[in-house]
């Protein structure tokens, strides 16, 4: 296989910038694509070249597979890195890239297809001794589906077969909610993925969400780079992730690693991938899905292994070989990532928009910031509201937690509502400090995670600052000027 | 001299515009606030009627309220559901004049790829649906109104 000399990044934001950094380090030229709304984004400035792309919507621009392949050919790129989201798990795109004579930095299209459909993925996993939670698929006969779903029992989790990122997902607590939730999930799935196929699965009460990073050579060899704990979620999306998983019995840890590697080997996985599991309080774990791409939270694995996952992806794409064997992977220290979102954490985590007027990310020993926006940028509803990822590393978990807390306190984000204060409250909560939490964490400690009441002194200072911040826009108009006032110093 | 009105976390404060203290700005959002009790380092930026402050590791949003708007706020607003965030109308499940029960679905909106159902917040009659299917809206836009109670 050939050496890659120039790579087009079919993505935007922080992940595009993060990929440019590795390409720079490897002396590979980089090409960005951007919708006009992103013209001034840091990743566009950082890339060696940039090509503007259009779409029906801003997000749609990044889904224009043909146009993106054309941009790669125009600029003489020999490979495409899809990042995460957008076209990263689109098998037809992976095929089209290779048909155009370019290298797709990711798994083979057939693996993406197999794992991209939750039903075929589950069937394949089951055939390869990966444990699954009891479930049923909606195959057109709604009545039969509802009946079978009721037989599994409540609570139930309804998911989109083609889904990901929590879209099309519904929790059904009682039988009488089932039909409404099914129709809502189907319509959301249809809109998000163009496929309304659903399945219902037994909901494991307050499970932990644990995932394993794997690397495969595409010929049946695979290794793991340890696991990540991703249980702190809101709206089914992760906001804090860490590696390694705190308080996990060694036997379970080994079993989860072996299961993930077994699945990667069975699919003859090529490149970097993630096998996600849910872990019940009884220690039993079940397959959730396999993500055939780089994960948002991959930096925590990089921090504890010292391995650049994007560089590994590129090396595998170039050589079809793994650079290392399992014994070469050494885990050192602890890393925690917190996702900074433009959202109102105290009001249902609703996304927020507005100008990012002041943005001062944290710095210092053991603090890594993967960001995609700069001060002055407008946070619009056109894209995902994630602004940056703050990753703290320490020789042990305590140090990592302490550095994360300091980094969150140092961060300044003004002009648009963000979850920075919420993250700080999370990162200092006793249950988080103890490392004992599950996916029910945010709901369980809801009242602890609310902001403390303001003290009187702070309130007085705040109101004084507000008064001094400028004239109220609604202040009554100034009195009419005296006849000579407008003449200034020239009056005699 | 007229007082100024600020809102923080839903609470309104009516304050004298004569302030004990002064502020010195560095130009990038960093400020020193001085008063008789001492000095405080804060980050502050003002955008129209919104003021953002970062103080002692906490972020505050302060809205300055136009005193002249106070009179028209209140009762009428409670009969209209406003958009919690920008988005698109997916479907409309109710029509003007229709009687609805508390919790009944009125319309479905999508924001940031998440669908949300706007449900009736009390028993009543639909007065007006302010948007059509497929319409895009900004945060705070009126979505649906119910007729005033017990007319």
Contact A184 B19 (CB under 8 A): no
Task: Please tell me the predicted confidence (pLDDT) of residue A383.
Answer: 93
Contact A459 B8 (CB under 8 A): yes
Contact A464 B54 (CB under 8 A): no
Q: How far apart are CA A249 and CA B118, in angstroms?
A: 45
CATH number of B75-146: 2.40.50.100
B6, B9, B115 ranked by CB distance to A466: nearest = B6
Cβ–Cβ < 8 Å for A214, A275? yes
**Which residue is listed with tokens 């004579």?**
A101
- Assess B141–A contact: CB distance below 8 Å, yes or no: no
Q: How far apart are CA A30 and CA B72, in angstroms?
A: 56
Cβ–Cβ < 8 Å for A257, A263? no
Residue ranges covered by each domain of chain B: 4-69, 75-146
| Helical axes A118-127 vs A109-116, angle rounded to 10° | 100
Identify from B36, B85, B91 which residue to disrupt to test chain A contact, counting A C-beta atoms within 10 A and taking the largest count: B85
Q: What is the ipTM of this complex?
A: 0.82
A409, A421, A472 ranked by CB distance to B64: nearest = A472
The residue from A293, A403, A405, A425 that is catalytic is A293
Identify from A464, A476, A478, A479 which residue to disrupt to test chain B contact, counting B C-beta atoms within 10 A and taking the largest count: A464
pLDDT in tens, chain A (492 residues): 689 999 999 999 999 999 999 999 999 999 999 999 999 999 999 999 999 999 999 999 999 999 999 999 999 999 999 999 999 999 999 999 999 999 999 999 999 999 999 889 999 999 999 999 888 887 778 888 888 888 888 889 898 887 766 677 888 998 889 888 888 888 888 887 788 888 888 888 889 999 999 999 999 999 999 999 999 999 888 999 999 999 899 999 999 999 999 999 999 999 999 999 999 888 889 999 999 999 999 999 999 999 999 999 999 999 999 999 999 999 999 999 999 999 999 988 999 999 999 999 999 999 999 999 999 999 998 999 999 999 999 999 999 999 999 999 999 999 999 999 999 999 999 999 999 899 999 999 999 999 999 999 999 999 999 999 987 645 444 444 444 433 333 333
Contact A458 B56 (CB under 8 A): yes
Contact B51 A466 (CB under 8 A): yes
Q: What is the DSSP string of A162-226?
A: T--TTTT-EEE-SGGGHHHHHHHHHHHHHHHHS---EEEEEPPSS-EEEEEEEEEESSS-EEEEE
Q: How far apart are CA A380 and CA A359, in angstroms?
A: 16
A400 phi/psi in degrees, rounded to 5: -60, -45
Instruction: Record the tokens describing residue B101, joined without a space.
Output: 């029960």
Nearest in space to A430 (alpha carbons), one of A411, A443, A404, A449? A449
Contact A357 B84 (CB under 8 A): no
Question: Does A141 or B132 have the greater pLDDT score?
Answer: B132
Contact B113 A167 (CB under 8 A): yes
Which residue(s) pair with B50 in the sheet?
B47, B63
pTM of the model: 0.82
Is the domain B4-69 a CATH 3.30.830.10 member? no
- Assess B24–A contact: CB distance below 8 Å, yes or no: no
Instruction: Record the tokens describing residue A195, joined without a space.
Output: 């496929």
Q: How far apart are CA B51 and CA A150, in angstroms?
A: 51
How far A432 CA lies from chain B's nearest CA (Å)?
A: 19
Q: How far apart are CA A436 and CA A424, in angstroms?
A: 17
Task: Please tell me the predicted confidence (pLDDT) of residue A478.
Answer: 46
Contact B31 A465 (CB under 8 A): yes
A308 phi/psi in degrees, rounded to 5: -85, 110
Does residue A155 have a cis bond before it (omega within 30 degrees)? yes
Contact A473 B48 (CB under 8 A): yes
Burial, A250: exposed, middle or buried (Cβ in 10 Å; 0-12, 13-18, 19+)? exposed
Confidence of residue B85 (pLDDT cuts 50, 70, 90): confident
Rounded to the nearest 5 degrees, what angle is found at the Cα of A239, between the Cα atoms of A234 and A242? Answer: 130
Task: Please tell me the predicted confidence (pLDDT) of residue A375.
Answer: 96
User: Considering only the top CATH level, what class is A6-105?
Assistant: alpha beta
How confident is the prediction for chain A on average, in pLDDT?
A: 92
Contact A465 B66 (CB under 8 A): no
How confident is the prediction for chain B on average, in pLDDT?
A: 84
Residues of chain B found within 8 Å of residue A476, distances taken between Cβ atoms: 2
Which residues between 48 and 77 in chain B have a beta carbon less than 8 angstroms from any beta carbon of chain A?
48-49, 51-62, 64-69
Task: Please tell me the predicted confidence (pLDDT) of residue A480.
Answer: 45
Could you tell me the fold of the domain covering A134-202?
Dna Ligase; domain 1 (3.30.1490)
How far A423 CA lies from chain B's nearest CA (Å)?
A: 11
How far B121 CA lies from chain A's nearest CA (Å)?
A: 17
A350, A351, A462 ranked by CB distance to B60: nearest = A462
Identify from B115, B116, B117, B118 which residue to disrupt to test chain A contact, counting A C-beta atoms within 10 A and taking the largest count: B115
Task: Please tell me the predicted confidence (pLDDT) of residue A201.
Answer: 86
Instruction: Record the tokens describing residue A150, joined without a space.
Output: 């009721």
How far B131 CA lies from chain A's nearest CA (Å)?
A: 19
B23, B58, B117 ranked by CB distance to A465: nearest = B23
Please report, rounded to a whole number, the percentage of residues in chain B having pLDDT higher than 90.
Answer: 30
- Assess B88–A contact: CB distance below 8 Å, yes or no: no
Task: Please tell me the predicted confidence (pLDDT) of residue A487.
Answer: 39
3-state secondary structure of A237: strand
Is A293 among the residues known to form the active site? yes
Instruction: Record the tokens describing residue A448, joined without a space.
Output: 């602890």
Nearest in space to A208 (alpha carbons), one of A233, A225, A226? A233
Which chain B residue shows the shortest CA-CA distance from A452?
A: B58
Which chain A residue shows the shortest CA-CA distance from B66?
A: A474
Task: Please tell me the predicted confidence (pLDDT) of residue A419.
Answer: 97
Residues of chain A found within 8 Å of residue B57, distances taken between Cβ atoms: 409, 421, 424
Query: Residues near B138 by Cβ (< 8 Å), separated by ≥ 6?
Result: B83, B86
Query: Residues near A430 by Cβ (< 8 Å), separated by ≥ 6?
Result: none
Task: Please tell me the predicted confidence (pLDDT) of residue A110.
Answer: 97
B52, B57, B65 ranked by CB distance to A409: nearest = B57
Residue ranges covered by each domain of chain A: 6-105, 134-202, 208-444
Which chain A residue shows the shortest CA-CA distance from B15?
A: A463
How far B150 CA lies from chain A's nearest CA (Å)?
A: 31
Task: Please tell me the predicted confidence (pLDDT) of residue B112.
Answer: 67
Contact A474 B48 (CB under 8 A): no
Task: Give me the sign of the Cα torsion angle A34, A35, A36, A40.
Answer: negative
pLDDT digits (tens, 9 = 90+) for B32-82: 999 988 899 999 999 989 999 999 999 999 999 887 666 544 444 468 888
Q: How far apart are CA B69 and CA B66, in angstroms?
A: 5
A191, A351, A474 ranked by CB distance to B85: nearest = A351
User: Considering only the top CATH level, what class is A208-444?
Assistant: alpha beta
Cα separations (Å) of A234 from A237, B48, B110? 5, 31, 18
Identify from B20, B35, B38, B54 which residue to disrupt to test chain A contact, counting A C-beta atoms within 10 A and taking the largest count: B54
Task: Please count the CA atoms within 13 angstroms of the CA of A73 that sit on its side-chain side.
Answer: 13
């Amino acid at each position: 296989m050939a050496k890659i000399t120039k790579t087009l990044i079919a993505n935007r934001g922080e992940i595009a910038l993060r990929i440019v950094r590795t390409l720079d380090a490897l002396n590979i030229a980089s090409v960005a694509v951007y919708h006009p709304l992103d013209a001034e984004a840091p990743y566009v400035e950082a890339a060696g070249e940039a090509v503007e792309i259009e779409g029906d919507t801003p997000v749609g621009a990044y889904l224009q597979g043909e146009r993106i392949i054309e941009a790669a050919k125009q600029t003489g790129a020999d490979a495409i890195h899809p990042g995460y989201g957008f076209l990263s798990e689109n098998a037809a795109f992976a095929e089209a890239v290779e048909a155009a004579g370019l290298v797709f930095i990711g798994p083979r299209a057939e693996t993406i297809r197999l794992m991209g459909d939750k039903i075929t993925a589950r069937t394949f996993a089951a055939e390869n001794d990966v444990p699954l939670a009891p479930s049923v698929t909606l195959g057109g006969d709604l009545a039969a589906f509802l009946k079978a779903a009721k037989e599994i029992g409540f609570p139930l989790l309804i998911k989109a077969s083609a889904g990901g990122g929590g879209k099309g997902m519904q929790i059904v607590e009682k039988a009488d909610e089932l039909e409404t939730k099914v129709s809502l999930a189907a319509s959301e799935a249809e809109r998000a993925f163009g496929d309304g196929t659903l399945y219902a699965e037994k909901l494991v009460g307050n499970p932990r969400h644990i995932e394993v990073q794997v690397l495969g050579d595409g010929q049946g060899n695979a290794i793991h780079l340890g696991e990540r704990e991703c249980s702190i979620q809101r709206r089914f999306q992760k906001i804090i992730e860490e590696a390694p998983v705190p308080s996990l019995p060694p036997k379970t840890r080994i079993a989860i690693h072996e299961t993930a590697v077994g699945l990667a080997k069975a699919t003859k996985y090529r490149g970097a991938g993630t096998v996600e599991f849910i872990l019940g309080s009884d220690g039993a774990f079940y397959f959730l899905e396999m993500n055939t791409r780089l994960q948002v939270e991959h930096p925590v694995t990089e921090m504890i292994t010292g391995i650049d996952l994007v560089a590994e992806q590129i090396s595998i794409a170039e050589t079809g070989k793994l650079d290392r064997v399992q014994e070469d992977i050494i885990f050192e220290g602890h890393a925690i990532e917190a996702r900074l979102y433009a959202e109102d954490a105290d009001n249902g985590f609703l996304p927020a928009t507005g100008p990012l007027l002041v943005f001062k990310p944290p710095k210092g020993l053991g603090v890594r910031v993967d960001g995609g926006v700069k001060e002055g940028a407008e946070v619009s509803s056109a894209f995902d509201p994630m602004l940056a990822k703050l990753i703290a590393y320490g020789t042990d978990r305590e140090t990592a937690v302490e550095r994360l807390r300091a980094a969150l306190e140092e961060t300044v984000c003004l002009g648009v509502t963000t979850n920075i204060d919420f993250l700080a409250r999370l990162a200092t909560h006793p249950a988080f400090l103890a490392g004992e939490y599950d996916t029910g964490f945010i709901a369980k400690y809801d009242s602890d995670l609310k902001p403390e009441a303001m003290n009187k002194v702070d309130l007085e200072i705040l109101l004084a600052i507000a008064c001094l911040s400028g004239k109220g826009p609604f202040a009554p108009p100034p009195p009419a000027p005296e006849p000579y006032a407008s003449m200034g110093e020239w009056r005699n | 001299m007229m007082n100024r009105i600020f809102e923080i976390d839903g609470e309104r404060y009516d304050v004298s515009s004569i302030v004990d203290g002064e502020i010195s700005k560095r130009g990038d959002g960093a400020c020193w606030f001085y008063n008789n009790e001492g000095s405080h380092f804060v980050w502050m930026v003002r955008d129209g009627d919104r003021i953002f402050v970062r103080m002692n590791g906490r972020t505050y949003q302060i809205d300055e309220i136009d005193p002249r708007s106070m009179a028209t706020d209140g009762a009428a607003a409670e009969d209209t559901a406003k958009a919690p965030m920008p988005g698109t109308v997916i479907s409309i499940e109710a029509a003007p004049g229709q009687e609805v029960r508390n919790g009944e679905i009125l319309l479905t909106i999508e924001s940031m790829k998440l669908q949300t159902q706007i449900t009736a917040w009390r028993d009543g009659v639909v007065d007006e649906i302010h948007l059509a299917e497929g319409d895009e809206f900004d945060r705070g836009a009126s979505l649906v109104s119910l007729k005033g109670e017990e007319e």
